[in-house]
Structure 1
């Protein structure tokens, strides 16, 4: 157990974007304590139930997850040379399970997947347990239902309810069945839900209205093929347009890898595509939100990070009394809309980080591949300052590979508690950069100002890596 890593169980429904997210997740298995990899169902994909006369819908046998882990095993010696905390393939297989998959929202019986979730919620580990729903929430719901059946009506129910609600956090990508609406938010309203409803920019549709224009190139085959697909057996399983992959059980209109008739815009999204272009990673915000790169997203959903930014929403479609959070809307930048930008402002950084890690799969030689620079702030990451006070922060950066590092300071105004304008005076230095500002005279006690120091080795690398330090200035009396 690593107390600094987030605990997580990843559930998915086997759509091609879930498969891509799964490959991506495996490259970050060193940064997350993965306690489960669970196949579930959704409105889009389910296995069927012959006894009930239910035919399967677009169903892929969950063995694809084990096949991905087999590919991970082939590159594991290289990955572990770069970070010994990568979990063994044997461990990943041991926490891979099939959940409730027979039909949409099925939660009537225990499964290996639901039992894995139930037991994880009831362990003595004090850390939060992130339940990532790339498909429906029905397997999670079954785990919760079992707990309710065991304890409701007993003198332990109140304490068990509190434990589960304090420990569990659901991260749901859009809404892919009705089990959160019909069961979870009614029986477990204090169980926090982060509902990722704005996945524009990483789910099938890509243009400058949802992705910053400078980052669109990373969604084209000319970038993806050399930087991802050609990086060994694990990345060869990453799905792109017209790459020859066939998705078992999928209908022709969604066979993006093998149905050449879909090219040129002849598909439901209408946008033209070229060979090896990005298809989708619609479920990746769930685990990207957990990766600690210094943005502090796990401290507060309103801070924002690689998986998006969230605000509490009592006026939701489920239950106004639920601990329910939904994607925020940041201010638009140029042609890129704010509801997408809350997620895609970081997309260039995480795509480059992804590509750099893909290169780790090809060699154990640390000197021939890239690693992230380190960055720190001399004054710390929590500062208290009064209105009118000048604040100066010094960000220091080093690089394990000896690369040139560029350090920048920006304000993340959308996450601020102070709504006025600020002037930042940034000075580049050989070892980093410093920023100075004066706390505005009209700032009120308790207002916050979020500043992000970003350290990147982009000047030295074709695919760069980053780290951040978010400093929160809290206005005092």
Structure 2
């Protein structure tokens, strides 16, 4: 799943050969590169954005961060006149505080895995968006340090898509589009925007609607409900369930993040419920779900939002007027501030049906595409926090999931005849710490275009047989390999997605 230190991971398409029903077929590996990301955050509105920033920094080796921008939102803007002064402006210095703390543990992180950006670099791409609310504070001549960073990233000569993750208001991106429109023609801007993807966390101002209305071809998805399921009370628990979820998650964070895990963990804040300071809230209200998918390229492909993974799952047809539901918590004059930009269109969330393999409990709904992976992504974060203070020999590291001899973290594609038997082999999987491995193969029907039943034989073995249904011709079948090490304290998981294209006989 990850590039453990000294394990080579090429960016290429590789073709391997394997035996299936006595015939030679080819298997193609897509090792796509690190993703470019910009994160817009209304940090200090409440503690969850600061919590999310800690997690992002702990995965900063897995992505190329091209912007960390402090932005306003319906909860935090100049002119709000909130009794909490933090909610009356934007806070780039708060981002810098966390980046500097990360810099103090970076040397130890380098003992475990390569690719961690320097503090100086991260500070160089830290900036601020407009201080005011949404479209009230954008226009020609109103550029900010944050909009300049976004402009530079959009104009950068890089074939990789740029993912703009909005964990706050969208007006910094809107201002960047205005800035670019003053500099280049609309046709040139539209051409640049073909390489931009926007992921909006719930909609926290009206600028997202402005963007979607004025740039209807822009790839823009909005998570209105799924995002809240990253660490909510529904789904698998990785905490002590004798306590209510908020307190239990706080106790988990105190043990595995805040205490004895270095200076970055020490400033991971405690989050209490909004307007209820006596009750613990669940950690990381949702923003982490917008970038965490990039962490495992063997499972998640950000260019296929319908496939799912740690970052959730979305539909591929845009829907009209997906309400920025954070506006319902704002002042009344902001409730319907998107209306002037209707109709606007965005990609909506998708639902999953999932049975927890450990508890046998069945889940169905919009939150499932994220929380079905919770045990894995929480254990992963916990292990990475250990890397801040532990040596390589005393910490745990992710196994390497191999498919038919390929040990990269690429997604696997293969062709098979409908009605045939496909054999897949994960026996070359390995663990850098020498831990014993367990295997599980499962079918992910919502991710593919074939959604009937698929039979997996010996799904809990390194070797699996998959019967491709007779009626699957012309369809895709998604099979997920899950390899977990049997570490006694913090088991870690690696994934590989196998996409079978079924051909007619």
Asked whether the two chains share a fold, i.e. TM above 0.5, the reply is yes
Match for 1:144 among 171, 177, 190? 177
Q: Distance in 1 between matches of 2:471 and 2:476?
A: 12
2:476 to 437, 440, 448: 448
Give the structure 1 partner of residue 300 of structure 2: 296
Aligned mates of 1:475, 1:143 — CA distance in 2: 44
Cα RMSD, aligned residues only = 2.5
User: How many Å separate the matches in 1 of 2:97 and 2:86?
Assistant: 22
Q: What is residue 236 of structure 1 aligned with on the other side?
A: 266
Matched, 1:71 2:101: yes
- The equivalent of 2:386 in structure 1 is 359
1:47 is matched with 78
Picking from 333, 346, 352, the partner of 1:324 is 346
Name 1:134's counterpart in structure 2.
167
Q: Residues 388 and 438 of structure 1 are in contact (CA less than 8 Å); yes or no, is this contact kept in structure 2?
A: yes
Distance 1:7 1:177 in 2: 24
Mapped to 1, the partners of 2:275 and 2:377 lie a distance apart of 27
Cα distance in 2, alignment partners of residues 428 and 40 from structure 1: 46
1:467 corresponds to which residue? 494
Alpha-carbon contact 1:314-1:320 (below 8 Å) kept: no
Residue 31 in structure 1 maps to residue 62 in structure 2: yes
SS in 1 for 2:115: coil
Contact in 1 for aligned 2:223/2:348 (Cα 8 Å): yes
What is aligned with 1:408?
A: 440
2:5 corresponds to which residue? none
Q: How far off its partner does 1:321 sit?
A: 9.0
Q: Is the 8 A contact 1:76 1:361 kept in 2?
A: yes
C-alpha distance in structure 1 between counterparts of 2:72 and 2:353, whole Å:
35
Deviation at residue 25 of structure 1 after TM alignment = 0.2
Equivalent residues of 1:314, 1:321 under 8 A apart? no
Separation in 2, partners of 1:331, 1:391: 25
| Counterpart secondary structure, 2:127 | strand
Deviation at 1:58, TM superposition (A): 5.2
> 1:233 aligns to what SS in structure 2?
helix
What's the offset of the Cα at 1:241?
4.5
Aligned length: 430
TM-score (norm 1): 0.84
One of 254, 263, 274 as aligned partner of 2:274: 254
Q: Structure 1 pair 296/427, CA: closer, same or farther in 2 (3 Å)?
A: closer
Cα separation, 1, equivalents of 2:104 and 2:377: 24
Matching of residue 200 in structure 1 with residue 224 in structure 2 = no
Using a 3 Å threshold, how does the CA distance of structure 1 residues 56 and 24 change in structure 2: closer, same or farther? closer
**Equivalent residue runs for 1:157-176 within 5 Å:** 157-164=186-193, 166-176=194-204
Q: TM-score, normalised by structure 2?
A: 0.79
For 1:196 and 1:215, locate their aligned partners in 2 and report how far apart those are by CA, in whole Å: 25
* Shift in Å, 1:314: 3.3
What does 1:186-225 align with in structure 2 at a 5 Å threshold?
Answer: 186-197=213-224, 198-202=226-230, 206-207=232-233, 210-212=234-236, 220-225=249-254
**Alpha-carbon distance in 1 for matches of 2:439, 2:156:** 42
Tell me by how many angstroms 1:59 deviates.
Answer: 4.5
Aligned residue number for residue 17 of structure 2: none
Partner of 2:334: none
Q: Sort the Cα spacing of 1:188 and 1:21 in 2 relative to 1 into closer, same or farther, 3 A.
A: same
Partner deviation per Cα, 1:314-337 (whole Å, 9 max, x = no partner): 332169997732210112543634
Q: What residue number does 2:400 align with?
A: 374
Deviation at 1:189, TM superposition (A): 1.3
Q: Which runs of 5+ in 1 are unaligned?
A: 243-252, 264-272
* DSSP 3-state at the match of 1:298: coil
- Indicate the residue corresponding to 1:350 in structure 2: 377
Question: Residue in 2 aligned with 1:306?
Answer: 310
Return the offset for 1:111: 0.2
Looking at structure 1, the residues matched to 395 and 493 of structure 2 have their Cα atoms a distance apart, in angstroms, of 14
Segments of structure 2 that go 5 or more residues without pairing to the other structure are: 1-10, 12-31, 323-340, 356-360, 407-411
Structure 1 residue 181, shift from structure 2 partner? 1.2
How far does residue 368 in structure 1 lie from its aligned partner after superposition? 0.7
Q: What residue is the counterpart of 1:100 in the other structure?
A: 130
8 Å Cα contact 1:224-1:278 kept in structure 2:
no
337 and 143 in structure 1: CA distance in 2 versus 1, 3 angstrom threshold: same
Paired residues of 2:128 and 2:146 also in contact (CA < 8 A): yes
* Structure 2 CA distance for aligned equivalents of residues 137 and 93 of structure 1: 21
* Equivalent-residue separation in structure 2 for 1:147 and 1:405 (angstroms): 51
Deviation at 1:372, TM superposition (A): 0.7
Q: Does 1:91 align with 2:98?
A: no
Q: In structure 2, do the counterparts of structure 1 residues 76 and 329 end up closer, same or farther at CA, with 3 Å as the change threshold?
A: same
Partners of 1:444 and 1:28 in 2: how far apart? 39
**Kept after mapping to 1: 8 A contact 2:318/2:348:** no
Deviation for aligned residue 1:92: 1.0
